[in-house]
Amino acid sequence: MKLGIMVNEGPYTHQASDSAYQFAKAALAKGHEISRVFFYHDGVNNGSRLTVPPQDERNIVKRWSELAAEHKLDLVVCIAAAQRRGLMDKSEAKRHGKDADNIAPGFRISGLGQLIEAGIEADRLVVFGD
């Protein structure tokens, strides 16, 4: 089965990101395909490379990056939601006159069209968070 995943909550404020990550891992282990993981609303914070949890806690951003590298997942952060929360890649930072970027490895910034496309291409679009 081909799945799309949408994550609407931040990595440390809600269970949604952990649940989405565990779901993605389990689906991949069962042989399912994940066409895209789309991060929206506060979920875009899952893509910040500046997140530094305490050493004895899980590093959700790193987990997503590693899963993406291992399975060639497309991790897409909504551009409008990201900009509102100060998350940007090099190109967006330059476009807005900012001196740094903070997108984590494996993530990319794009628009809502990527969510629509994931919903069309996937057999199921699974949403985590409100």
Q: What angle do CA 60, 98, 82 make, to 5 degrees?
A: 40
Q: What is the C-alpha to C-alpha distance for residues 125 and 106, in angstroms, rounded to an integer?
A: 21
Enter the tokens of residue 122: 């996937």
pLDDT of residue 39: 98
Q: What is the C-alpha to C-alpha distance for residues 65 and 49, in angstroms, rounded to an integer?
A: 10
Tokens 């910034």 -> residue: 109
8 Å CB contact between 39 and 87: no
Number of structural domains the chain divides into: 1
**This prediction's pTM:** 0.96
- Nearest-Å Rg of the Cα atoms of the chain is 14
User: By residue range, what is the domain housing residue 100?
Assistant: 2-128
Q: Is 78 a catalytic residue?
A: yes
Enter the tokens of residue 14: 């809600």
pLDDT of residue 109: 97
Tell me the CATH number at 98. 3.40.1260.10
pLDDT in tens, 78-111: 999 999 999 999 999 999 999 999 999 999 999 9
**Residue of 78, 81, 104, 118 with catalytic role:** 78
CA-closest candidate to residue 111, choices 90, 126, 92, 130? 92
